[in-house]
Amino acid sequence: MASNEQSKRPGSSELLQVTKSQTTLRTQLEALECHFTWGIDYSRFKLLHLRDDLEDIGTEVGYQWLGHIYNLQAYIHYQLSSQDLGSTTNDALCCFSKAAEAFRQIRNTVSDEGPWLLVNYSNMAWLHFHLEEQAKSQEYVAKVEALLQEYPSPSPDELHAEVYAEKAWTLMHFSLERKQKAIEYFQKAISMEPDRVEWLSSQALAIASTSLDSTALNHTPIQEVELLKILKTAKENDSEDLYLAAIYLGRLANTGEVIENQARALAQRVLLQPVSSYSGIRPLLRLYREQRLFDEAIDLAEEALERHPDGPSNNRYLKKILATCYKWKIFQGDNLLKKSLTDRAISLFEEVISLYPHSSPPFFSFLNLALAAVYAESIQYTAKADPIYKEMLESNPEPKELQMLYNKYAKHLNYHVKDRHMSIEYHMKAAEIPLPSQYRINSISILRHIQNRGMNRRCQEIQDFLATLQEEPDTLYRGN
């Protein structure tokens, strides 16, 4: 019996062949261009936050980036499944399949296959490899090789334009450095296929986003005149992209241009769009905020919700931005309607948090930060704010999120709890985390401001602490 079982086991030569085969496949996979090989940053918070953001974009048929959305969603589902964070590999497989179908529908060509599937097939090869389905993985590697033979890139040193474009669109959703690479990849894709309007539009949005991030982190931003020219050209070429139009108006307003009438006209067009974070409503509301048109922002968000009362997840996205509009109004200053505003904002935030997975306390999230801030502004609910901050601190957020949380909590301790000593402690904690961000800059600036005033008994301690930091951003105190 034992000899029969032994005879069924693979011998050393067979094991060696299997290992060699796996090594060869792994080498082939590592040469592919896809989400699994792009070195994407995937902290727990970033994955969860991006998963929600992608779901809020919506799945409107015909949207040019729908295939790319599903590809990135699938990759996020896979990463979350490996961390037991509410997704499964079946979710990943499903989204990869939806991506392939979306590409086929959008391209609307005679052939069901084309270079737009290079990234998708590469992703599928990697996923099946991780699922230990070697034959299926090899099958998708062969599909990629066949597409590359049929649709070769211009030179061995360059990728296909479709791959450059998808890589660029994906990297737009991550760090400043990744966004800068995205701009380069879009440029490569556009140089090969200059008539692709959606690539020009997305490159313009990436440039605008990078400009904002550069300003926040004291990088040298693109000149505003040059940026406006880029955005205007992209907007004229892609007149149906209302998100791009809203971004352009926002940057135009920064130059002192009077844009209220243009903004109101754009708002009417946005209201006719399907519910989506790409409809243009978010940057338009942000523009209203910058113009201090808080009541108009609330009215626009309320009307959007009235027009679309039964959308996806009970229109959690519209409720989220409406709650944010009420928060802006509350923080603009004293007003007689503050109690009714805070009650409405609190009700919305509490509902929205229940609609976003992994957003309720004790998890760290922007929604919890917003709810705590609104609680703190309400005389009736002020005591509810501190426990939310403490629960988030105890939830072991990652360094980038922890730095933000320290900064926010320090301000809460100063302005609402009136605990100046602990406020300083938490600003120090934020500054000690050596990650470049607006929150670190702000905490260091506040500490320097306290030291320069010379009225706190901890001035010398603060001075010694600042001297120990590797970096001291040369910025002015920015208050809140």
Q: What is the pLDDT along the chain (480 residues), one digit of tens a residue?
A: 444 444 444 444 444 455 556 679 999 999 999 999 999 877 888 899 999 999 998 877 568 899 999 999 999 999 999 888 778 999 999 999 999 999 988 887 667 789 999 999 999 999 999 999 999 999 999 999 999 999 999 888 999 999 999 999 999 999 888 999 999 999 999 999 999 999 999 999 999 998 865 554 454 556 888 999 999 999 999 999 999 999 999 999 988 999 999 999 999 999 998 888 899 999 999 999 999 999 999 999 999 999 987 765 568 999 999 999 999 999 887 666 678 899 999 999 999 999 987 887 778 899 999 999 999 988 889 999 999 999 999 998 999 999 999 999 999 999 999 999 999 999 999 999 999 889 999 999 999 999 999 888 999 999 999 999 855 444 433 333
Residues 97 and 209 both lie in one domain = no
* CATH number of the domain where residue 132 is located: 1.25.40.10
* 138 assigned to some structural domain: yes
HEC readout, the chain: CHHHHHHHCCCHHHHHHHHHHHHHHHHHHHCCCCHHHCCCCCCHHHHHHHHHHHHHHCCCCCCCCHHHHHHHHHHHHHHHHHCCCCCCHHHHHHHHHHHHHHHHHHHCCCCCCCHHHHHHHHHHHHHHHHCCCHHHHHHHHHHHHHHHHHCCCCCCCCCCHHHHHHHHHHHCCCCHHHHHHHHHHHHHHHHHCCCCHHHHHHHHHHHHHHHHHHHHCCCCCCCHHHHHHHHHHHHHHCCCCHHHHHHHHHHHHCCCCCCHHHHHHHHHHHHCCCCCCCCCHHHHHHHHHHCCCHHHHHHHHHHHHHHCCCCHHHCHHHHHHHHHHHHHHHCCCCCCCHHHHHHHHHHHHHHHHHHCCCCCCCCCCHHHHHHHHHHHHCCCCHHHHHHHHHHHHHCCCCHHHHHHHHHHHHHHHHHHHCCHHHHHHHHHHHHHCCCCCHHHHHHHHHHHHHHHHCCCCCHHHHHHHHHHCCCCCCCCCCCC
Predicted TM-score (pTM) of the model is: 0.87
| 146 and 193 belong to one structural domain | no
Same domain, 73 and 185: no
Establish if 101 belongs to a structural domain.
yes
**Position of tokens 């209220």?**
260
Do 114 and 211 share a structural domain? no
pLDDT recorded at residue 9? 46
Examine the domain organization and report whether 148 and 83 are in the same domain. yes
Q: What gap in Å lies between CA 208 and CA 187, rounded to an integer? A: 15
Q: SS3 for 378?
A: coil
- 414 within a domain of the structure (yes/no): no
Burial class (CB in 10 A: 0-12, 13-18, 19+), 242: buried
pLDDT at 202: 96
Is residue 397, in this structure, part of any structural domain at all? no
Range of the domain at 194: 159-221+232-238
Q: Which of 238, 272, 306 is the last residue of a domain?
A: 238
- Indicate if 91 and 198 belong to the same structural domain: no
Residues 41 and 140 in one domain: yes
Q: Are 472 and 441 in contact (CB under 8 A)?
A: no
Q: Does any domain span residue 363?
A: no
Q: Are residues 164 and 137 in the same domain?
A: no
Question: Which of 238, 264, 298 is the last residue in one of the domains?
Answer: 238
Residue 205 counted as domain residue: yes
CATH of the domain at 163: 1.25.40
- Within this chain, do residues 82 and 147 fall inside the same structural domain, yes or no? yes
Instruction: Look at residue 298 and tell me if it is in a domain.
Output: no
112 & 165 share domain: no
Of 122, 152, 182, at which residue does a domain stop?
Answer: 152
Domain count, the chain: 2
Give a yes or no: residue 174 inside a domain: yes
Same domain, 64 and 146: yes
Statement to judge: residues 73 and 143 lie in one domain? yes
